[in-house]
Amino acid sequence: MSTSFAEALSIGLLVLVLVCAVVRPWGWPEAVVAVPAAGLVVVTGAISPADAWAEAERLGPVIGFLAAVLVLAQLCDDEGLFRACGAWMARTSAGSPRRLLVQVFVVASVITAVLSLDATVVLLTPVVFVTAARLGARPKPHVYACTHLSNTASLLLPVSNLTNLLAFAASGLSFTRFAALMTLPWLAAIAVEYVVLRRFFASDLDAGAPPAAEVTAPEMPLFALVTVACTLAGFILTSVVGVDPAWAALAGALVLAVRALVRRSTTPVAIVRSASVPFLAFVLALGIVVRAVVDNGLASALGHLVPDGSSLPALLGTAALAAVLANVINNLPATLVLLPLAVPSGPGAVLAVLLGVNIGPNLTYAGSLATLLWRRIVREHDTDIGLGEFTRLGLLVVPAALTLAVVALWGSLQLIGT
C-alpha cells in the first residue's frame, strides 16, 4: 500500500470512528464501528500486525486498570455511596443554591479524582439532579459543575481518567510523584472553575429556593468507604514496590464484588456489564487506528509543532496544542498522538499534554466522550443545554484554567522536580 493511500485511509477511518462515537447511530456502542476499523487498517497494511499487537500490549494494562475502576465505582454506587453523598449535599446546603454549588464542587472533585470521571458523569450527575429538585433549586449550575469537573478535576491521580493512565505509563513517574506534581494544577483549575461558574450562573444561584424539607440521611456505606481508602493506599504501595497499580484496583473491585455476590445484591452478569466491555474494546480499537494515523504521517507533521523542553513557554505551548487537538479529534486520540512526541522532553511535557487534554474538552461537546455522555444524561432529565451557552462558558473557563494550571505545574516542577 502506498504511503499516501495508507495515510488517507487511516485518517478517514479515524474520522468515521469519532463521528460514530459522537452520534452513536441507532444507539450502537462505540465499538461497533471502531473494532472493524482497527481490523481494516491491519488487513490493508496501513499498520503491520506486529505494530498493532505492540499497541495492544501497551494499552492492555491501562484497559485492565480502567475496567477494575469502573467495576469499583459501580459497586460503590450499589452500596449506596452516591445516594449518601446526595443526602449530605442536601442536608448541609440548608436550602442555599450557592452552598449547594460548593458541596457539588467538593463531592464531584473527590469522586472524579478517586473513582474516575465516569463515576461523576454516570453516577453523580443523576444524584445532583435529584438533590437540586429536592431543594427547589435550579439544576443548571450544579449539573454544569458535574461535567466540567469530570474533566478538570480528573487531573490529580493516575486513576482519575483514562488519559491519566496513558500519561502515567508514559511519564515514568511513581504514583505519589505524579499526584504531588498535579496537586497544585488540580487546585488551580478547580478554583477557576468555581469562580467562573459562580459568576456565569449568578442569576440561577440568586433565585433562591424554598425552605428545604428535612432530609433523612441514609446509612453511610462504611464498608465501601474503607475499601476505597484501602484501594488508594494500595495504589501508593504498589507504586513504591514497583508493581502495576492495576492490581490494587482489581483487589478493591474483588472485595466489593465478593461482598455483593454473597449478599445477593448483584449478579456476575451485572458485574461484567459494569466493566463496560464494549467501551474497553472501543479504546483498544481506537488506539490501533490512531497508531496507524501516527505512523503514516501525523507524527512527523505534529513533531514540528510540539515545543522542546519543559520551560514555562514550552509547557504553555504543549498544553495549548493538546487542548486544541482534543477539541478537533477528541481528547483520547489526542493523548495517544501527542504522548510519544512529548516523552523526549521529559515528564513535565507529558503532564502538560495531560493538562491540555483534560481541561481543553470543556470548550466543546466533542472534546471528550464523558461530555457527550453527560449531555445524554441531561437530556433524559428534560434539561436544555444549548451549544452556545456551553461554548461561552468554555471560552471563559478553559483559557484561564489551562494557563493557571500550567503555571502551577511549572512551579511544582521547580519545587519538587521529577
Q: Over its length of 418 residues, how does the chain's per-residue pLDDT go in tens digits? A: 567 788 788 888 888 887 887 777 777 888 899 999 999 999 988 889 999 999 898 888 878 888 888 888 889 888 888 888 888 888 888 778 899 999 999 999 999 998 888 888 888 888 898 888 888 888 899 999 999 999 999 999 988 888 998 899 899 898 889 999 999 999 999 999 999 999 999 998 887 555 555 556 567 788 988 998 898 888 888 877 877 778 888 899 999 999 999 998 889 999 999 888 888 898 899 889 988 888 887 777 777 888 988 999 999 999 999 999 998 888 888 898 899 899 999 999 999 999 999 999 999 877 887 887 787 778 777 676 777 899 999 999 999 999 999 999 999 999 987 7
One-letter identity of residue 165: L
d(CA 228, CA 54): 33
Q: What range defines the domain where residue 47 resides?
A: 3-416
Grid cell at residue 111: 469522586
Total number of domains in the chain: 1
Instruction: Give the residue ranges of DSSP H helices in 94-207.
Output: 97-115, 117-118, 125-135, 140-152, 162-171, 175-200, 202-206
Q: Can you tell me the distance from the alpha carbon of 13 to that of 28, in angstroms, rounded to the nearest whole number?
A: 17
**pTM of the complete model:** 0.84
- Burial degree of 382 (CB within 10 A; 0-12, 13-18, 19+): exposed
Q: 154 CB contacts (<8 Å, ≥6 apart)?
A: 112, 113, 116, 117, 160, 161, 163, 164, 358
Check: CB of residue 293 under 8 Å from CB of residue 14.
Answer: yes
